[in-house]
Chain A
Amino acid sequence: MTPRLQLEGMTKVYPSVTACDRIDLSIMPGEIHAVLGENGAGKSTLMKMIYGVIRPDAGHILWNGEPVVIRNPAHARRLGIGMVFQHFSLFETLTVTENIALAMDGRCRADRLAGRIRTVSEQYGLPLDPNRLVHSLSVGIRQRVEIIRCLLQEPKLLIMDEPTSVLTPQAVRTMFDTLRRLADEGCSILYISHKLDEIMALCHRATIIRGGRVTGTADPAGETAASLARMMTGHDLPRCAQDRPAPGTQPCLEIHRLSRKAEDQFGTDLDDISLTVNRGEILGIAGISGNGQQELLRVLSGEQRLDTPETITINGQPAAHLGPAERRGLGLAFVPEERIGRGAVPGLSLTENVVLTAHRMGMVRHGLLCMERAAAYARNCVRSFAVRCGSINDPVNSLSGGNMQKFITGREILQNPALLIASQPTWGVDVGAANVIRQAIIGLRNRGTAVLVISEELDELFEICDRLVVIAGGRLTPPVPVAATDREEIGLWMGGMFPDRPAVPQEAGHA
């Protein structure tokens, strides 16, 4: 049988790095093929070459056995290649039908298109209402729109780039059913991910890429997560040591019945949120992004102040009316989800970026900066968190995303805060570096710091947290100890199916 797609010696060289180095890959009709690799391994570059977004410097593409040069994405679509991107490209103010019509290359009539959307979406178990405006849809449903948009063009090869990062476990299962059905009908699927369990559950074969080269192919069903990870990273994964002392009971951060209307019209209103984070514990907030996490974080960091001081207390001190600097004075450290432009200043060096929040560590004397101390702090941060950089005098925006995340997280952790709030602390960070960050957070907890982690990665939350809550639609569930719950239950809550809530939220009710 002829492979649906065959790549031979695909190479792409950028001025500073060889993104793809003689990559070979072949995928048969009806095969679900995983492309596994860390961030920066070259997965995305490879996919863009297949989809015609960038031109390879060397190598051949054989499509159904015929050599082709894919000139642009429209050409790729005509051949029968569809791609679902990691980041959505939908217009929020348009309906589902209008969004899909925009992506269709040929002209089509809107009323007929709506009918087709309904038929195809039901056929694959992903029902969609074509007339809904996109901004009213949850993230999971938006992804359905992207998938249906591809399926309407009846692709022979579907490329999916990290499709599950925004889905609940239940939604992931639904999507997997759809993908399996597609494969049974003969469609080939290239599935890009770094989530090992998903690949083992779904894929028939896997190609593992490291540093732009193929390091191996495997049958995922015959491998273990550890063996796949070793091929992906080149070494064994250290597990986070969880020698946890008894969790603390002294409250550090307390939120009392916080309600707030969103300022942005597409934002989420916060609805009667109460929460306590104790010293020496890590509390995780799970949830699909866009359910009030950003709004809650802005209130917690002090970037959004409230008129009612008692709504938030830090170590017993009313703090809701204080700005970020004053809250840091009470012992808060904060890792925001956006790195460049918020967590770090582009154009300034690593040393100068240390001063942004760590200036309290003796870097200011009589109003003057002490750059030697900042440099020492930066060197310590780079060393402790294995930040890969040329020098601490390089501009911070020369770091890769993962390294910038390590740098910012490290800068906050090294301040030895009484309270650490971290949003997506390992987002976009490769497996090894994520472990360094998680270990540091656990170490901080063991020294008595209260830690609040907001993450979309359930695996991460289950690995490091002592207690979990779920945020959905701007509401919080009561907290549960990690040992007393599982991904299934948390997944249901993330979908908005909350346990029965007592009229007045109480910490003791569930724990």
Chain B
Amino acid sequence: MLRIEARPGPSKTMRYLSPLIAALLMLVSGLVIFTLLGKDPGRAFHAFFVEPVNDLYGIGELLIKASPLMLIGTGLAVGFRASIWNIGAEGQLTVGAICGGTVAIWLAQVQAGWLLPLMILCGGLGGMLWAAIPALLRTRFHANEILVSLMLNYVAILLLALLVHGPLRDPEGYGFPQSILFGEAATLPVLVEGTRLHAGVLVSLAGVLAGWILLEKSFLGYQIRVAGLAGRAADYAGFDRSRLIWTGMLAGGLAAGIAGVLEVAGPIGQLIDSVSPGYGYAAIIVAFVGRLHPGGIVLASLLMALLYLGGESGQMNLDLPAAVTGIFQGLLLFYLLAADFLINYRLVPGRRATGGRQ
């Protein structure tokens, strides 16, 4: 029998090593799965992790996928540090895409430089609006923000479907559930010739930088951390906890909303009925693998983006099922949680400690 015992002093080094250990274990497990599926593990590894990024175009794709993940991951980290569990980034991203996209469709004739900033602004506001619902219910009625934000994801995705099947559908689109293509002024410019890498990456990096200042340098970020670590200490110091809940939720909503606009104004170029391959959920994993630190989140977003690309490449080259990306994401999170658990606890062989009552 094994029993669980708290470690006397959790190791700081292991806290930073644990994401690397998790990534390594994910890799090993993945190769085992490939072998069991009858694939040559060496080839599979190459197809999954090397082929997608062995040319300039591939690196551009990697950054395109990493961009929303790092932006949303940073926004979510603000809430997670305050122990506000916003699971609704997928919905906030969708509403952001709807708001920004609607502006682009309504102002399709405009050819001015302010259109893109306006779209980003509206997308950010839309994401914040969607995040405000769980924040309001939490601060007013103590409703659990995990459930509310999670369920609002489905509402948002269905809302988008309703719009692109109805009011926002392209009248000349042969009935496909998609809007008109955005105009030149509503599309993000490509940064590097020969790739699809667009200026949205710069917006995301600016967002990560702003998140870093907020979390690591500002007094507000300090208050957020205190509220997350010890709520009663925050009360004792007089930090306004409901304000911190609002900050945490709205930061996530803002980041996800902007990421949504960047998706539709970038690689997609129009509103369609599915604007995100689960970025809002993957960003939760990114935030934790990145240790809720913006620097770590950037690295984690690159790893997660590679999993997305590898999944696609694996489907094409190795005839793997589409579920493979999700499997890798799940393995990564599972191993991270396990590794984090073992930082604070250890398994000791032997029966439960004996001892009399006192």
Residues of A within 8 A of B (CB): 15, 52-53, 72-77, 85, 89, 102-103, 301-303, 323-328, 334, 336, 338, 341-348, 352, 355-357, 359, 364, 367-369
Contact = CB atoms under 8 A, between A and B. Distances in A.
A316 B217 CA distance: 37
A357 B357 contact: no
Nearest to A324: B238
22 contacts: A72-B354, A72-B355, A74-B357, A75-B356, A89-B358, A102-B357, A301-B236, A326-B238, A334-B236, A341-B230, A342-B233, A342-B236, A345-B233, A346-B229, A347-B229, A348-B225, A356-B226, A357-B236, A364-B219, A368-B219, A369-B219, A369-B222
Contact of B238 (A76, A323, A368): A323
A367 B218 contact: yes
Contacts of B237: 324-325, 356-357
Contacts of A75: 356
Interface in B211-226: 213, 217-220, 222, 225-226
B233 A344 contact: yes
A73 B358 contact: yes
B229 A348 contact: yes
A369 B229 contact: no
A52 B218 contact: no
- Max chain A Cβ within 10 angstroms of own Cβ: one of B225, B229, B230: B230
A369 B358 contact: no
Contacts of B217: 368-369
B356 A355 contact: no
Contacts of A52: 356
Given A324-B237, A346-B230, A357-B237, A72 B356 contact: yes
A74 B232 contact: no
A74 B226 CA distance: 43
B8 to A, nearest CB: 7
Contacts of A73: 355-358
- Max chain B Cβ within 10 angstroms of own Cβ: one of A72, A77, A325, A356: A356
Contacts of A359: 219
Interface of B: 8, 213, 217-220, 222, 225-226, 229-230, 232-233, 235-240, 354-358
B236 A303 contact: yes
Contacts of B225: 348
Contacts of B236: 301, 303, 324, 334, 336, 342-343, 356-357
Contacts of A72: 354-356
A348 B222 CA distance: 10
A442 B229 CA distance: 34
**Which 6 A-B residue pairs are closest in the complex by CB-CB distance?**
A325-B238, A324-B238, A74-B356, A73-B356, A72-B356, A364-B219
Contacts, number: 83
Give the secondary structure class of B's interface: helix
Given A302-B238, A345-B230, A357-B237, A85 B219 contact: no
B218 A368 contact: yes
Nearest to A75: B356
Contacts of B220: 367
Contacts of A301: 236
A112 B354 CA distance: 31
A343 B233 contact: yes
A341 B232 contact: yes
Contact of A367 (B219, B239, B355): B219
Nearest to B225: A348
Nearest to A301: B236
A102 B357 CA distance: 9
Nearest to A83: B358
A342 B232 contact: yes
Contacts of B355: 53, 72-73
A359 B355 CA distance: 47
Contact of A328 (B218, B233, B238, B358): B238
A17 to B, nearest CB: 12
Contacts of B354: 72
Nearest to A16: B8
Given A15-B8, A368-B219, A369-B218, A303 B230 contact: no
- Max chain B Cβ within 10 angstroms of own Cβ: one of A72, A75, A338, A368: A368
B175 to A, nearest CB: 52
A342 B229 CA distance: 11
Contact of B239 (A325, A341, A347, A348): A325
A334 to B, nearest CB: 8
Contacts of B239: 325
B243 to A, nearest CB: 11
Contacts of A352: 222
A328 B213 CA distance: 27
Contacts of B233: 341-345, 356
A74 B220 CA distance: 53
Contacts of A356: 226, 233, 236-237
Nearest to B216: A369
Given A343-B233, A369-B217, 14 more contacts: A15-B8, A53-B355, A72-B356, A75-B356, A85-B358, A325-B239, A325-B240, A334-B236, A341-B232, A342-B230, A342-B235, A356-B233, A357-B236, A369-B219
Nearest to A338: B232
Nearest to A103: B357
A76 B222 CA distance: 50
Contacts of A367: 218-220
